[in-house]
Amino acid sequence: MIRRTSRQLRIGKVTVGGDTSVVVQSMTKTDTRDIHATINQLKQLEDCGCEIVRVAVPDKEAATSLATIKKGVSLPIIADIHFDYRLALGALKAGVDGLRLNPGNMGDKEQVSKVVAAAKEREVPIRIGVNAGSLPADFQPRAPLAERMGNMALEQIRFMESLDFSLIKVSLKAFDVPTTIQAYQMIADKMPYPLHLGVTEAGLPRTGAIRSAIGIGVLLYQGIGDTIRVSLTAYPCEEVFVAYEILKSLGLRQRGPTLVSCPSCGRADVDIIALAEAVNKRLEKISKPIKVAVMGCVVNGPGEAKDADVGIAGGKGKGAIFRKGKVVGTVSENRFLQALMTEIESLNERGL
């Protein structure tokens, strides 16, 4: 996988673009005016591995709250601004690390110039965040949607460049996965700035994770993308979890354990679904990138999961514990979970 080379920029303490790892973002779902609740959610996001957080700024009170919120957390904060450029100026004054502007609903050049001047003075990057749903109807109405999205971003990029501003990041989000992919592909080699990937309004966790994994995953596999956000109708840490799973699946990041479990079949002598779920629950407490296999039988189990650091293959009344595909012991069925966890904990303590 060869990654597209993008221009590097800093969002607070986090470097984005260039040859740095793909960064995981999310967004708070609290009322930003509720400072206490927002700080709490930001801390939860930091604990679950989020690296940059976007915060909605719907009004002046929310913009003003950002100053106190910033003091309460170390995560870089991006202010999400729609319609009113004065909220962007307020957020910059409050000390945010980045802005997200939607060119579809903030088209007045004079107003955007004022925001760009203030961002430039503070060296704060701006994400040009195009959304399929908020494109002005009269903008290139005959062109395909993905092209319209890309062209709207390019137009805004050229305008910001004309103001001698280059701390730019770009996103082109749509609900439709092929449109999202085409829009990013279209713009990727037309400008040098980092790309933030996402499929917008992707839905509830089950379907939203799949839609996001396909949209974001295809692009990442093509080397496109510097930051990602999985948009789910769920608590934000769920978004972060799915984002890391996408990155882990492509070998782009490592975080926490990976569970390899067989689907079970007529050869299984144990309830593999219940066992895998119980192991998965226990793995939530482990932060090291350990690979654990839970397999339904000894015929294929150790071989199929030979990459796993540790695993179990169930059998009639007993099972085999294996490390890197090599059987290192047998245990009775009532001790499966306990024996596997003992192995995992000992590996975790010793270091992998």
**Is the CB of residue 236 less than 8 Å from the CB of residue 205?**
no
Q: Which two tokens stand for residue 80?
A: 């999400």
Q: State which residue has the least CB distance to ligand SF4.
A: 296
Q: By CB under 6 A, name the binding residues for ligand SF4.
A: 262-265, 267-268, 295-297, 299-301, 304
**Considering the complex, what minimum distance in angstroms separates the CB of residue 328 from ligand SF4?**
18
Backbone angles phi, psi at 70, to 5 degrees: -60, -40
Question: Minimal distance in Å, beta carbon 297 to ligand SF4?
Answer: 3
Q: Give CA–CA dist 340/312, Å, rounded.
A: 7
In the bound state with ligand SF4, the residue whose beta carbon lies nearer, of 89 and 312, is 312
Output 98 or 311, the one with its CB closest to ligand SF4.
311
Spatial separation of the C-alpha atoms in residues 145 and 151, rounded to whole Å: 10
Shortest Cβ distance from residue 96 to ligand SF4 (Å)? 50
DSSP label of 94: H
Nearer to ligand SF4, 91 or 293 (CB): 293
Closer of 59 and 304 to ligand SF4 (Cβ): 304
Residue 21 has what DSSP assignment?
P
Closest CA to 309 of 323, 297, 288, 299: 323
- What is the DSSP code (8-state) at residue 134? G
Give me the least distance between CB of 296 and ligand SF4, in Å please.
3
Residue 294 identity (one-letter amino acid): V
Least distance from ligand SF4 to the Cβ atom of residue 217, Å:
25
Residue placing its CB nearer to ligand SF4 in the complex, 217 or 301: 301
CB of residue 294 to ligand SF4, shortest distance in Å = 9
Q: Which is nearer to ligand SF4, 208 or 296 (CB)?
A: 296
Place of tokens 């701390």: 167
Which SS3 state, helix, strand or coil, does residue 4 take? coil
Distance CA 200, CA 129 (A): 11
